[in-house]
Amino acid sequence: MTAERIVILGIGCTLYADQGFGVHVVQALENRYELPDTVQLIDGGLIGVALTGLIAGAGHLIAVDAICLKGRPGEIYRLEGRQILERLAVKNQIQQVEFLEALAHCQALDHPPQAILLAVEPQDTCTVACDLTPALAQALDPMIVRVMAELDRLGVQYQLKGTGAVCA
């Protein structure tokens, strides 16, 4: 098991339908899994540049967000390293701007985590609604599987709440 600190960051605003997808994922992870102390779940909704302090000391960052890449709603993407910067260069949400700024600050502080962005193609990011659209509600469990696969890859042991069964 890795001893490095791992941050799982949910990005988005839950007031605008699918924009809050990353936050919904983090909330579901918190409800379903017992994670070791080295794994920190963060609702990065509207934290802004303060994200820098939360991710700067991490060895690994798994960020989850809804980003428009012109795919079909619910399509899941995995981006890492420079791909994150390139794909988010055309920023369409303030949270993405703040996330990129936080990563840039970590780089300037010489403490950048190894970052992975797990993203989903949204259907609706403009309607004021706290619920996900049906397409993204269906993508929630597959995204959780993807996040847990990243933890498996990093050698993290965790368990489902209430079962006692250890995974990874």
The enclosing domain of 92 has a CATH number of 3.40.50.1450
Question: Is 25 a domain residue?
Answer: yes
What's the domain range around 159?
A: 6-163
Please check whether residue 102 lies inside any domain of the structure: yes
CA–CA–CA angle 146, 168, 162 (5° rounding): 90
Residue at 159 is within a domain: yes
Query: Model-level pTM?
Result: 0.86
Give tens-digit pLDDT for 119-152.
Answer: 999 999 889 988 999 999 999 999 999 999 999 9
Q: How many domains does the chain have?
A: 1
Confirm whether 128 is domain-assigned: yes
Residue 74's SS3 state is coil
Distance, CA of 26 to CA of 3 (rounded, Å): 21
Does 168 reside within a domain? no
From the CB of residue 156, how many other CB atoms can be counted at a distance below 10 Å?
20
